[in-house]
Amino acid sequence: MQVQRKAADRSFVALSRRENHDSLTLIGVTRTFGRDQAIFGEGDSAQFVYRVVSGGVRSFRLLADGRRQIFAFHLAGDVFGWTTGAEHASDAEALCDTTLIVARRSAVLDDPDQAPALARHVLRELHRSRDHLMTLGRRAAAERIASFLIECAERQDSPPEIELAMSRQDIADHLGLTIETVSRTLTQMQSDGLIHLNGCRRVRVVRPRTLAQLCQ
Amino acid sequence: MQVQRKAADRSFVALSRRENHDSLTLIGVTRTFGRDQAIFGEGDSAQFVYRVVSGGVRSFRLLADGRRQIFAFHLAGDVFGWTTGAEHASDAEALCDTTLIVARRSAVLDDPDQAPALARHVLRELHRSRDHLMTLGRRAAAERIASFLIECAERQDSPPEIELAMSRQDIADHLGLTIETVSRTLTQMQSDGLIHLNGCRRVRVVRPRTLAQLCQ
DNA sequence: CGGGCGGTTGAGGTCAATCAATCAGAGTGG
DNA sequence: CCACTCTGATTGATTGACCTCAACCGCCCG
């Protein structure tokens, strides 16, 4: 799975086709990025799109005073970097050491064979984005955290223990909360017996039902 | 522009092509809906997609306890009703008496000629959705109202006076606020000389610069 | 004129933010 | 190996923005 991690920055051509339900095909070079390294920035020309091979990515936008909203975390298999116009409308940074496949945007966008898959792909993104809107607009802090944990669990095929790829600050900026509220809520959930924290990056869901009820 | 408003509920075949930048073509019948009438509901089979001819639509989702999040308002020219799966993932209702063109979803989704336009269309939706996420996740009440007013103005080609198609409750459920906070904030903006309220559905922006600065 | 609905205004409460201190773990250098 | 530092996370105390509950207003329509 992990190709050339920490090796040469660019390696030769790689082909990637995701199996489950997204049939977008990306052909391009692989590149590696270190923790917090920028992949692209708002306003950069959007020549490329990306697929995560290993590691993780946050995509986000900033307000003038530094407030940050993380729209999505992209993990292994995810494709990201689409825009309407010629420029990126958000920033993207690696969460940790990360390997990506980098493909020319036009190669996918202008390929009529790929257009239906692209439309479906973006439609799924939009759906996820609307779940997220529901969370930010109408859910309380504990409900946001519960949704987030459940989403993380599902993306990892609901293992006994969730591995968080991101920091508390990232979670806070994803959920429209502060780092303190995230921390407090997790601690509270642990003392309520909902979850068990095993270090700050590992969460075992003890009562999945009760957690799920929190987000209705 | 307005076809058969307040006439028979179904009229004969209509063709619609939006001029500005969205080249999606919808062919289908026109239908009219009264204020607050459901167009489709969450879980309904998603056979059709829609274009607003006149009037307006809110699309939203509800939590079990009735909390509501409005994802978008669709006005004249807008196409809505796309989903990933076979079922709608949200509800849609008319804001007021509204005329729509109703087209078979499959006619557009499975048409390879339309796929690129669809991908671009959904990509624009996604972009708007992320603006909205920024607003809900990281902006204060006054900033949310300011963003909303500016968005409304832009969609109406920035006329001297904005015409609001939706109620205070709709605005509140769009911005993740309460009706009281919306009302208070508008009143405050008026006494600060930012805007002028001409009845509760008409807003004149007195100081567009200052208003824009509020959302950075 | 009276009722109803949508909107506004006021008073008080609450949840999450802010400000601040402390803690835990990883990495560094003596 | 042990201090020391640095960073990220946790915990505590207090504040404040927005919510809740409630009353009232104004307009429309019968």
Q: Are the Cβ atoms of A137 and B69 closer than 8 angstroms?
A: yes
**A80, A24 Cβ separation under 8 angstroms:** no
- A122 contacts in chain B (CB < 8 Å): 119, 122-123, 126
Count of residues making up chain B = 216
Give the model confidence (pLDDT) of B168-209 as tens digits: 999 999 999 999 999 999 999 999 999 999 999 999 999 999
User: Distance between CA A125 and CA B129 in Å, rounded?
Assistant: 10
pLDDT in the model for residue A9: 46
Task: Give the single-character DSSP code of B28.
Answer: E
Strands (E) in chain A, as ranges, are 14-17, 25-33, 38-40, 48-54, 56-62, 68-75, 79-80, 91-94, 98-104, 161-163, 195-197, 202-205
Is the minimum distance from the CB of A168 to strand D below 7 Å? Answer: yes
Residue A164 has pLDDT above 70, yes or no: yes
**A206, A146 Cβ separation under 8 angstroms:** no
pLDDT band at B23 (very low <50, low <70, confident <90, very high): confident
Alpha helices in B28-166 (DSSP H): 105-109, 115-138, 141-155
**B147, A76 Cβ separation under 8 angstroms:** no
Residues in A lying within 8 Å of B, measured between beta carbons? 61, 63-65, 67-69, 71, 82-84, 89-90, 109-110, 112, 115-116, 118-120, 122-127, 129-130, 132-134, 136-139, 173-176, 216
Alpha helices in chain B (DSSP H): 105-109, 115-138, 141-155, 168-175, 179-191, 208-214
Q: How far is the CA of A29 from the C1' of C4 (A)?
A: 67
Partnered with residue A48 across adjacent β-strands are: A104
Q: How far is the CA of A140 from the C1' of C21 (A)?
A: 27
How far from the centroid of its chain's Cα atoms is residue B10's Cα?
Answer: 23
User: Distance between CA B80 and CA B129 in Å, rounded?
Assistant: 13
pLDDT band at B22 (very low <50, low <70, confident <90, very high): low
User: Distance between CA A71 and CA B102 in Å, rounded?
Assistant: 32
Give the model confidence (pLDDT) of B40-66 as tens digits: 999 999 999 999 999 999 999 999 999
pLDDT in the model for residue B47: 97
The average confidence (pLDDT) of chain A is 91
Give the model confidence (pLDDT) of A166-196 as tens digits: 999 999 999 999 999 999 999 999 999 999 9
Q: Which nucleotides of D are covered by protein (CB under 7 A)?
A: 8-13, 17-22
User: Distance between CA A138 and CA A135 in Å, rounded?
Assistant: 6
H/E stretch holding A197:
strand A195-197
Q: How far is the CA of A154 from the C1' of D29 (A)?
A: 54
**B186, B195 Cβ separation under 8 angstroms:** yes
Residue B153 has pLDDT above 60, yes or no: yes
pTM (two decimals): 0.93
- Give the range among A64-73, B6-15, B70-79 with minimum mean pLDDT: B6-15
Q: What average pLDDT does this structure show over B90-102?
A: 98
Give the model confidence (pLDDT) of A118-156 as tens digits: 999 999 999 999 999 999 999 999 999 999 999 999 999
Measured between CA atoms, the residue of chain A closest to residue B71 is A130
| Tokens read off for A50 | 């990306």
Q: Which residues contact A127 (CB under 8 A, 6 or more apart)?
A: B83, B84, B89
pLDDT in the model for residue B188: 98
In chain A, % of residues over pLDDT 90: 84
pLDDT in the model for residue A16: 56
